[in-house]
Amino acid sequence: MKPVYTRQQLLARRCRALDAERAYSAAEIEAQLAELPGWSLRSEAIERSYAFRDYHETIAFVNALAWIVHAEDHHPELTVTYNRCTVRWNTHSVSGISDNDFICAARADSVFARAG
Q: What is the pLDDT of residues 23-71, one digit of tens each?
A: 999 999 999 999 999 999 999 999 999 999 999 999 999 999 999 999 9
CB 69 within 8 A of CB 12: no
Confidence grade of residue 116 (pLDDT, cut at 50, 70, 90): low
Fold exhibited by the domain 7-115:
Gyrase A; domain 2 (3.30.1360)
CA 4 to chain CA centroid, nearest Å: 15
> Within a 10 A sphere around the Cβ of 24, how many other Cβ atoms?
24
CA separation for the pair 108, 103 (Å, rounded): 9
